[in-house]
Amino acid sequence: MKSRPARWVTVAFALTLVLLAGCQKQEAVQEVQKEESGGSGFKVGYATEGITATEDPEAFQKSVEEMYKKSQERGVAVTYKNDAFSSDGINFSCYIGNPQDSGYDMFIAIYGDDKFTDELYLSQLLKPGQAFEKLTLNHALDPGVNTVYVAFTQVEETEGEQSIRGQTVIAMKFHVSATE
């Protein structure tokens, strides 16, 4: 998939910022006229806390260029098979990995709920090109098909310090065979 939509969203956002900065007075006049005429359209108020004026056009341009550069970066690449299988609900056969071309180490965390409170598994780092084929969960899942949430977290190291570079979450099906 091409990254063009993200680039256009970033450019559109930057242009919106420029237009807002240049047209505040005109928008304020239009808003007063709208209120006086009793209009009932969508209205977004102005931020009043934690903001600052952009007085330095060079600093503003630099921030726009940084946003554009970030929009060109590849997202979090992942590789997995959507289904994992177990006969006991704890030990699973699966395929969850870090693609060879990802460029970053990553770890995975698996959760049993969409609120990320039921941690089923937390890995150590996988290098690019490595994958798990077997996992042992912290506790057993019920027989049947269980939807789990897998968080792939890329880690980068700068000057000996690790930090999160990016993260994505997918849903997988963990199948537990019914025992008789």
Prediction pTM value? 0.60
- DSSP reduced 3-state for 22: helix
- Angle at which helices 57-72 and 4-36 cross, to 10°: 130
Q: For residues 156 and 167, what is the distance between their CA atoms, to the nearest angstrom?
A: 12
- DSSP reduced 3-state for 44: coil
Q: For residues 84 and 92, what is the distance between their CA atoms, to the nearest angstrom?
A: 6
- What domains lie within the chain, and their CATH numbers? 4-72 (no CATH), 79-176 (2.60.40)
Q: In the predicted model, is pLDDT for residue 84 greater than 90?
A: yes
For the segment 46-56, the average pLDDT, to the nearest whole number, is: 72
